[in-house]
Structure 1
Amino acid sequence: NTGKPNPTGMDVTSRCTLGDPNKLPEGVPQPARMPYISDKHPRQTLEVINLLRKHRELCDVVLVVGAKKIYAHRVILSACSPYFRAMFTGELAESRQTEVVIRDIDERAMELLIDFAYTSQITVEEGNVQTLLPAACLLQLAEIQEACCEFLKRQLDPSNCLGIRAFADTHSCRELLRIADKFTQHNFQEVSCTWCSNAPICWRAIWVHILLNNTCLGISC
């Protein structure tokens, strides 16, 4: 021990106990305790790990997406994505590879999702939502799927509601599909004027589906 010696030779923080060492005698006050949980620790830890990634330090996997190579840490990817967790903890060949090729995903979308895994931040916008949502579906990032769907809900208008509906149906976004249908029903005449004559053939089929399921609605252009 360092510092001034204790003249009594006793541990001033201890209290005498008899019998069960974890149980104090009756009437003896419990020792002082102060549980502490750091609010800063998770954020600061992620910031340091993200710096390590940017400097390519302690990275144990390289994701090859198209012509792009993305350095990362398996534990971070596995913690954020069930897709990566299954890949790296199972018996797949990728669990033993240092370079893993990821197919059928946009390079920029993958970069954004990996950034999110390390920073908990992402920006959904018109220029990336159509590649970001499929990528989030592939990686099973439910939170990003929800963010993309929320963004698309806010963009609904008579000129794009059928396109958004088709997009939602393709990627099994049931809530967005329901909202797009509801929007179409509430704006039926305006949508019909926009789409009846000019819609692509594949979207006309969607329009017919909506008509058949809403026979009480009329069209007047």
Structure 2
Amino acid sequence: MPKRCRSASPTDYGVYPSRASLSAGFVRGMYELQKTGSFCDVVLKGSEESSVGIPCHRSVLTVHSEYFRAAFSQDWKESTQQVYRLRNIDSQTLNELVEFVYTLDIRLNGDNVERILIAAQFLQMVAVVRMSWDYVEKHLHLSNCLLVHALASNYHNPNVCDAALSFIRRYFLEFVEGHDFLQMDTQQLMQVIGSDVLDVASEDLVFQAVMRWWEYDRPGRLAHLHTLLQTVRVPFLSVQCQQDYALALTSTSMAVPQSSAEAVGESPGEETKDTIPRQSYMILCVGGRGKDSQRSVAARVDVFSPSIPAVWRLKKLREEVGNAVVMPDSSSLFMFIAGHVMTVQRNSHYTDLRKEWRRLTSMRIWRYSVAYATLNGGIYAVGGYAQDSASMQPLTSVEVYDPNDDSWSVVASLPARRASLALVACEDRLYAFGGENGARDCRTAFCYDPSTNSWSRLANMPTARSECAACVAPSGLIYVVGDLVEPRHSPGCACVDGKLYVLGGYDANEWNSHSSIEVYDEDADRWALHACRLPQPRYGFGCVVMKMKRD
């Protein structure tokens, strides 16, 4: 009696090829058939008369190309031809596209991506077109961004058009110096310089760029000059550039306006796009102490824009804080907030000024009167007092925060105990100035080199200082500031548009905190009180520069 077939149990398993491995095997098999010419029913040839034929399978070509699907399915003479010549695609490009059809792999580079993209557009190979545009967008460069914009315009790809224009706006200062800038047409230039997010330090640079573009071909471009000048935001030009602007308008045979507001065609006092600054660098004042040591500003963020000029207040913080730093990548708006004046175990960061804060990993040591600075993607916390220290001796320890994995690590300690010191990053180094050693103010200066994880001592400052601030000026010099036009301890300090700004602070003699702002012109070597004031007096606060738009 024959044995019956045993029913399969739910616990019985067999090993079968996966769908992915079957697909890979099929692709590999078809590629081998194509390479050997087996079962091929059409030969493709490129545009050159001497081009070598490429044996293919019609069915495989139609899977990847709408063009071939239409050509081979219609009742045309070409649909039955054994040899099919593509007169607008060269042999090399055709070989690369056929390679993709049979391997699903294509090697794109700067030399071949344009011709492959154009050929894939013609053959309606959607996958190759998508990969080519993706490659182009990811490899934008000053040398190709204008070409990419033209290519995307010709093939009606608005996303890549916008990406190319955004790239030019972001690197506008470098782009203006090149030859491609002079080749821009009027519409392209309008789209770039008319944008609110054009990355320029001052409006003078926009006006100067327009004039350079015009001077390249004065007769041919004179008719467009007036239109381009209207995109310049005249109220934010320097006095000299406003005079040059008036002369440029004269060149266009237009009447010279009597005021900056009229120069952009608006009524005086009316706030329009032309009377609002572009995306610009602004100074954020975060937390700290207020008048008579009150904590009324400890959870407040004020914004000072030197270019408007104006001061306004942002959303209140979730916690009271006493210091802040911002990561160098201003496009991400990553801002780190550390504690309030007496403890820094509360750490938070912002990724967007309209979003909420979140708590980060605490430092290894609770500390206050600590100095912060960013360097090479890390946030350094240097010195300060330990909260539980009975001896009131400053710390020498230094910690660095890594935003990538939300962790703190210890690096080389300061050569001496310091608290209430000034700390600033400059050319891949940290510089620490002054501070107090527990008994008196100090004149010392130290430099930290992360490549060797070591501190070195620099020349002493002429004056002993603590609760001071430091900032790197456009010249590359580091300024350590305290008493200026008004006596200031624990002020904020930042450099914007080539000028040094010192904000707030307090007078140690009268214990009176300030809301005033002072500005230093390095070229004129002159300090002056600024017309703007902070909404409230404050000291011991975080002072950071961020690229923002006024919403």
Scaled by the length of structure 2, what TM-score is found?
0.33
Residue of structure 2 equivalent to 1:4: none
Answer whether contact 1:106 1:131 (CA < 8 A) is retained: no
Is the alpha carbon distance of 1:191 and 1:206 closer, same or farther for their aligned partners in structure 2, counting shifts above 3 Å? farther
Answer whether contact 2:46 2:90 (CA < 8 A) is retained: yes
Percent identical: 26
In the alignment, structure 1 residue 210 sits paired with structure 2 residue 194: no
Q: Offset at 1:213?
A: 4.8
Answer whether contact 2:169 2:192 (CA < 8 A) is retained: no
Residue of structure 1 equivalent to 2:24: 43
Give a deviation string over 1:36-73, Cα, whole Å, max 9, x none: 56332221122122111111111100112123211100
Residue of structure 2 equivalent to 1:63: 44
CA distance in 1, matches of 2:112, 2:197: 37
Size of the aligned set, in residue pairs, is 198
CA distance in 1, matches of 2:4, 2:136: 65
Q: Offset at 1:195?
A: 4.4
CA distance in 1, matches of 2:179, 2:68: 41
More strand by share: 2
In the alignment, structure 1 residue 132 sits paired with structure 2 residue 116: yes
Residue of structure 1 equivalent to 2:5: 12
Give a deviation string over 1:98-141, Cα, whole Å, max 9, x none: 11121212321111110001011111001101211101111112
Alignment of 1:148-167 (within 5 A): 148-167=132-151
More helix by share: 1
Task: Identify the match of residue 107 of structure 1 among 71, 91, 94.
Answer: 91
Q: Offset at 1:209?
A: 4.2
Is the alpha carbon distance of 1:151 and 1:209 closer, same or farther for their aligned partners in structure 2, counting shifts above 3 Å? same
Task: Identify the match of residue 90 of structure 1 among 47, 52, 74.
Answer: 74
Is the alpha carbon distance of 1:11 and 1:187 closer, same or farther for their aligned partners in structure 2, counting shifts above 3 Å? same
Who wins on radius of gyration, i.e. which is larger? 2
Q: Offset at 1:216?
A: 8.0
Answer whether contact 2:133 2:160 (CA < 8 A) is retained: yes
State the secondary structure of the residue aligned to 2:110.
coil
Residue of structure 2 equivalent to 1:143: 127
Is the alpha carbon distance of 1:132 and 1:53 closer, same or farther for their aligned partners in structure 2, counting shifts above 3 Å? same
Is the alpha carbon distance of 1:216 and 1:179 closer, same or farther for their aligned partners in structure 2, counting shifts above 3 Å? closer
CA distance in 1, matches of 2:180, 2:111: 27
Residue of structure 2 equivalent to 1:169: 153
Answer whether contact 1:196 1:204 (CA < 8 A) is retained: no
CA distance in 1, matches of 2:5, 2:120: 57
Is the alpha carbon distance of 1:72 and 1:198 closer, same or farther for their aligned partners in structure 2, counting shifts above 3 Å? same
State the secondary structure of the residue aligned to 1:40.
helix
Two-structure CA RMSD over aligned residues (Å):
2.8
Residue of structure 1 equivalent to 2:165: 181
Is the alpha carbon distance of 1:188 and 1:197 closer, same or farther for their aligned partners in structure 2, counting shifts above 3 Å? closer
CA distance in 1, matches of 2:13, 2:74: 42
Matched residue type, 2:65: S
Is the alpha carbon distance of 1:183 and 1:212 closer, same or farther for their aligned partners in structure 2, counting shifts above 3 Å? closer
Answer whether contact 1:162 1:206 (CA < 8 A) is retained: no
Structure 1 spans left out of the alignment, 5+ residues: 1-6, 15-28
Answer whether contact 1:65 1:105 (CA < 8 A) is retained: yes
Structure 2 spans left out of the alignment, 5+ residues: 210-551
Is the alpha carbon distance of 1:197 and 1:111 closer, same or farther for their aligned partners in structure 2, counting shifts above 3 Å? closer
CA distance in 1, matches of 2:94, 2:66: 15
State the secondary structure of the residue aligned to 1:100.
strand
Give a deviation string over 1:18-44, Cα, whole Å, max 9, x none: xxxxxxxxxxx99x8979563322211
Higher relative contact order (CA 8 A, sep 6+): 1
Scaled by the length of structure 1, what TM-score is found?
0.76
Q: Offset at 1:176?
A: 1.2
Matched residue type, 2:68: F
Answer whether contact 1:87 1:94 (CA < 8 A) is retained: yes
Matched residue type, 1:89: S
Is the alpha carbon distance of 1:56 and 1:12 closer, same or farther for their aligned partners in structure 2, counting shifts above 3 Å? closer
